Amino acid sequence: MKKMLPLLMTLLSMCLLFAQKKYSGFDPGAIWEDTEGLHINAHGGGMTIVGDTYYWFGEHKVKGGRGNQSWVGVRVYSSKDLYNWKNEGVALTVKKDPASLLIEGSVIERPKVIYNEKNKNYVMWFHHELKGQGYDAALVGVAVSDSVTGPYEYLKSFRMHPKVWPLNFSEEQKKHAIEKSKEKLKWGEGSVHGVYFLRDFEIGQMSRDMTLFKDDDGTAYHITASEENGTLIISKLTDDYLSLSNEYVRIFPGGNNEAPAIFKQNGKYYMITSGLTGWKPNPARSAVASNMFGPWKSLGNPVRGTEEEKATTFKSQSTYIFPVVGRKNAFVFMADRWTPQNAIDGRYIWLPIEFEGDNPIIKWYSNWNLSFFDSKK
């Protein structure tokens, strides 16, 4: 029997290998298994490309409603074809130490990772909420690693730009915000008039749904929903990508945008966001600019399809847009179909970015693969 054991183990391994599903395309909204046969657990994710390998970072969820808090951390997967993903483990682990801000049970959302050539390391930014405080803290968190898959060392969490005025906030706007802050405003009007910004000027601005964008020249930006999610803030990072510089702007004040995702094509910057309806899906928005600091021009809903699809963005919410290696002007729209009542069951909606003239659009394809972009040349 002992002599037979190695043979049995080999046969078992071969059976498991053949049992693993091999993907050759994308099936948006379906269960997406990794190479171990488990549903990929990388929600609110972002993509980092190193050579010919993609690394998908996302929130590790657990079962039930408690899965909306972080009990594990940020997980990372790798792939060379975008279809089949290997689990590379937990890149950033939450702490059991109650003295740590990153204690398990806090909220870690929308992790994004970029490579810093200056220090030759990988820097992760994420939306961070403190344990037991709901979404009141509205912090941005930073972690760093010498390896793309980690482990990442947690460095800090903070509010943005305390006592620093935006580049596009005039003296007239300051006076207007001060006057309006004396009035009793309806919810949401505070971001229109800059009152929420003024309220948080001393302690720093809020950061919730966020993303990172690294430009062709290596300049990196943090884009986030701020001022009670009423206004987007775009901030230039410092050269080491570990902090925010003092250069930043407010865009679409009172526009109620969240879930920002950015890409660049033919010298123009494009942004896709969602509105504010909690976990429920809503119509996406799109915008364009010739400079990251704007001015940004609204382009309307990028979704093309049925009325329901346009109203719900295919029952999903944007999280990231990334380029396809080896293909020109080929970008993939990443979105999440949230299931807050059972967070681990959230599904992924990946669709190709297309264009109508100069406007990016998104259509539904129940099954597609990267050859789609070959037909668009």
Instruction: Tell me: pLDDT of 18 over 50.
Output: no
The strand pair at 231-237 and 244-251 is best described as antiparallel
Model confidence pLDDT, tens digit, residues 106-156: 999 999 999 999 999 999 999 999 999 999 999 999 999 999 999 999 999
Query: What does the pLDDT average to over 172-181?
Result: 94
Would you say how long the chain is, in residues? 377
Contact present, 228 and 191 (Cβ < 8 Å): yes
**Other Cβ atoms within 10 Å of 300 Cβ, number:** 12
Give me the percent of the chain exceeding a pLDDT of 90.
92
Residue 84: is its pLDDT beyond 50?
A: yes
CB count within 10 Å of CB 98 equals 9
Is residue 116 a contact partner of residue 133, using CB atoms and an 8 Å limit? no
Going from the C-alpha of 210 to that of each of 114, 221, 229, the distances in angstroms are 14, 10, 11
Kindly report, residue by residue over 36-55, the tens digit of the pLDDT: 999 999 999 999 999 999 99
**Looking at the DSSP assignment, which residues form a beta bridge with residue 356?**
359
Question: Alpha-carbon distance 186 to 179, whole Å?
Answer: 15
**Would you say residue 292 has pLDDT above 50?**
yes
Name the least confident of 5-19, 98-112, 223-237. 5-19
pLDDT above 70 (res 82): yes
Is the per-residue pLDDT at 350 higher than 80? yes
Residue 4 has pLDDT above 70, yes or no: no
- Cβ-based burial of 72 (10 A; exposed 0-12, middle 13-18, buried ≥19): middle
Q: How many CB atoms lie within 10 A of CB 114?
A: 18
Query: Which CATH number describes the domain made up of 27-376?
Result: 2.115.10.20
Task: Indicate the SS3 state at residue 370.
Answer: helix
Q: How confident is the model at residue 179 (pLDDT cuts 50, 70, 90)?
A: very high
Region 87-104: mean pLDDT is 97
For residue 358, what are its two tokens?
A: 């100069």
Average pLDDT over residues 187-212: 95
Average pLDDT of the chain is 94
Residue type, 15: C
Residue 64 φ/ψ, nearest 5 degrees: 75, -175
**By C-alpha distance, which of 321, 226, 312, 248 is closest to 274?**
312
pLDDT at 20 over 90: no
Please state the rounded mean pLDDT for residues 345-373. Answer: 97
Tell which phi-psi region holds residue 357, choosing left (phi > 0), alpha (psi between -120 and 50) or beta: left
Q: Are 231 and 250 in contact (CB under 8 A)?
A: yes
Distance, in Å, from the CA atom of 262 to the CA atom of 269, rounded to the nearest integer, reads: 7
C-beta separation of 34 from 59 below 8 A: no
What does the domain layout of the chain look like in residue ranges?
A: 27-376
SS3 category, 30: coil
What is the C-alpha separation between 218 and 145, in angstroms, rounded? 18
How far is the C-alpha of 137 from the C-alpha of 221, rounded, in Å? 21
pLDDT-based confidence at residue 186 (cuts at 50, 70, 90): confident
Q: What is the pLDDT of residue 188?
A: 83
CB 234 within 8 A of CB 150: no
